[in-house]
Amino acid sequence: MNASGAVITSTGSALRSNDSLQLTVSGVPMTASVLLFQGSGQSGGGAGTPFGDGLRCAAGVVVRLGTRTAAGGVANYPEGAEPAIANHGGVPAAGGLRFYQGWYRNSASFCTASTFNLTNGLRVQWVP
């Protein structure tokens, strides 16, 4: 677990026509539940809004991509035969800007008495 909070990163290509994007959340408690989600906009004008022990960054039209149980403090989406992020998230064929975040269970008390936290926000520009 990372006392500074968990981090969401991406690998692969954000090409709507050939999506190979994969999201990785790291730094969560070893076997924490992690919900990965996509937003069409930003919360708080890009500064985020307080939520749990963190800030909610992804907002607007929100799509739940998937829930994972972390293995060794890491969770990935998609895996195996799961739908590609662009398809699951409804990214238009013309592309567009989307925001991603992970919401995870964390019973350790940091800033508040909440038992959950969020990763940083990740901005992805999809292209056709």
What's the CATH code of the domain at 62? 2.60.40
Domain that holds residue 45: 7-126
* Number of structural domains the chain divides into: 1
Check residue 26 and give its pLDDT.
97
Is residue 34 one of the residues assigned to a domain? yes
Q: Which comes out higher in pLDDT, residue 7 or 1?
A: 7
Burial class (CB in 10 A: 0-12, 13-18, 19+), 85: buried
Is residue 1 one of the residues assigned to a domain? no
Check residue 54 and give its pLDDT.
83
> How does pLDDT run across 65-74, given as a tens digit for each residue?
999 999 999 9
> How does pLDDT run across 11-59, given as a tens digit for each residue?
999 999 999 999 999 999 999 999 999 999 999 998 888 887 788 999 9
Is residue 15 one of the residues assigned to a domain? yes
Q: Please list the residues that pair with 76 across neighbouring strands.
A: 24
Mean pLDDT of 92-98: 97
